[in-house]
Amino acid sequence: MYNIFTFLVGGAISGAVTAYAMDMSSSKELVQGAIGGMIAALTIVLLLPQ
């Protein structure tokens, strides 16, 4: 459970930072990036051994 939590927050950070790096730095874009990162992270963590 905490693995999923860690990856979700990590994904949000990664997505937001990636969006920021690509000059998409408005609040809306950062949130969108964070959501995209969380979707990716959820897929990744679900494929890990639990």
Contact residues: another protein, CB under 8 A: 1-3, 5-7, 9-11, 13-24, 28-30, 32-37, 39-41, 43-45, 47-49
Residue in the block written with tokens 């979700």:
8
**Shortest Å, Cβ 45 to another protein:** 8
Q: What is the 3-class SS of 6-50, one letter each residue? A: HHHHHHHHHHHHHHHHCCCCCHHHHHHHHHHHHHHHHHHHHCCCC
**Shortest Å, Cβ 36 to another protein:** 3
**Shortest Å, Cβ 30 to another protein:** 7
